[in-house]
């Protein structure tokens, strides 16, 4: 279990598979550099970015799923830690940003869909909702996607949201973190901050 969380009453968390660009997104949002790696599994414990002047923290939680060279039991432990962290802090987490790779997310979801298997991304989306955390799906690397609307509609379908995706703009946010193109994500996060009565946190998004 992660024990490093700063004592803050408001939090936004980033969750998702390894290598989808969470740490790059964290850097774009905070302007602060974190360890990002070509190899999955670089982030093993949470990266917290804490604004001392505000009662707010943004947290990049470790990526999970397949990681080359990482044993299964370690992968399972990371996932369990992420789930426990979100459950333990759910009352303080205003938004859970689920980061997915726009280019590969549909293939990955479909590959892991079966009678005995729920894909991690789908499971995490519904888990956030179950514990009362508003999910925003940051669909990253969209600069590499040609059939943009079709891809986003397919993602909605897999998540149990009725397409077209445009009616879910507070939930589905197509972005390119590497290019600093975060407009839809900022809008979606602000929507939920406003709903939570925390317009004072707009300055961070």
Least confident among 24-28, 61-65, 126-130:
61-65
What's the CATH code of the domain at 179? 3.40.50.300
Whether 4 maps to a domain, the answer reads no
Indicate the pLDDT class of residue 23, thresholds 50, 70 and 90.
confident
pLDDT at 8 over 70: yes
Q: Please tell me the distance from the alpha carbon of residue 86 to that of residue 136, in angstroms, as a whole number.
A: 15
Name the residue with tokens 């964290």: 26
Q: Please tell me the distance from the alpha carbon of residue 58 to that of residue 197, in angstroms, as a whole number.
A: 17
What is the chain's mean pLDDT, rounded?
A: 88
Whether 134 maps to a domain, the answer reads yes
Q: Is 39 left (phi over 0), alpha (psi -120 to 50) or beta?
A: beta
- Residue 135 vs residue 73, higher pLDDT: 135
Instruction: Give the mean pLDDT of 139-149.
Output: 95
Whether 47 maps to a domain, the answer reads yes
Whether 5 maps to a domain, the answer reads no
Task: Give CA angle at 34 (107, 14), nearest 5°.
Answer: 45
Least confident among 2-6, 99-103, 145-149:
2-6
Least confident among 23-27, 42-46, 152-156:
42-46
Q: Please tell me the distance from the alpha carbon of residue 143 to that of residue 179, in angstroms, as a whole number.
A: 8
Which pLDDT belongs to residue 2? 59
Whether 2 maps to a domain, the answer reads no
Which pLDDT belongs to residue 52? 65
Instruction: Give the mean pLDDT of 116-135.
Output: 93
Indicate the pLDDT class of residue 113, thresholds 50, 70 and 90.
confident
Whether 41 maps to a domain, the answer reads yes
Whether 1 maps to a domain, the answer reads no
List Cβ neighbours of 13 (8 Å cut-off, separation of 6 or more): 58, 59, 60, 61, 85, 86, 89, 93, 95, 96, 97, 133
Q: Please tell me the distance from the alpha carbon of residue 123 to that of residue 159, in angstroms, as a whole number.
A: 9
Which pLDDT belongs to residue 119? 87
Whether 179 maps to a domain, the answer reads yes
Q: Domains in the chain: how many in total? A: 1
Q: Which domain holds residue 165?
A: 11-204
Which pLDDT belongs to residue 85? 94
């Amino acid at each position: 279990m992660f024990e490093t969380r700063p004592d803050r009453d408001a939090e936004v968390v980033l969750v998702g598979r390894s290598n989808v660009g969470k740490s790059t997104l964290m850097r774009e949002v905070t302007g602060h550099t974190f360890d990002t790696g070509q190899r999955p599994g670089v982030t093993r414990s949470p990266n917290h970015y804490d604004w001392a002047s505000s009662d707010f923290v943004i947290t990049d939680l470790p990526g999970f799923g397949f990681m080359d060279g990482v044993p299964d039991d370690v992968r399972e432990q990371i996932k369990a830690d992420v789930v426990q962290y979100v459950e333990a802090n759910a009352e303080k987490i205003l938004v859970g940003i689920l980061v997915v790779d726009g280019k590969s997310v549909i293939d990955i979801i479909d590959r892991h869909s079966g009678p005995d298997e729920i894909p991690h991304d789908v499971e995490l989306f519904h888990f956030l909702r179950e514990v009362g955390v508003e999910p925003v799906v940051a669909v990253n690397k969209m600069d590499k996607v040609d059939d943009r609307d079709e891809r986003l509609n397919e993602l909605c379908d897999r998540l149990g949201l009725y397409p077209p995706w445009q009616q879910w703009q507070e939930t589905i946010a197509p972005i390119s973190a590497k290019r600093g193109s975060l407009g839809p994500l900022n809008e979606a996060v602000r929507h939920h901050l406003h709903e939570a009565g925390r317009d004072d946190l707009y300055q961070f998004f």
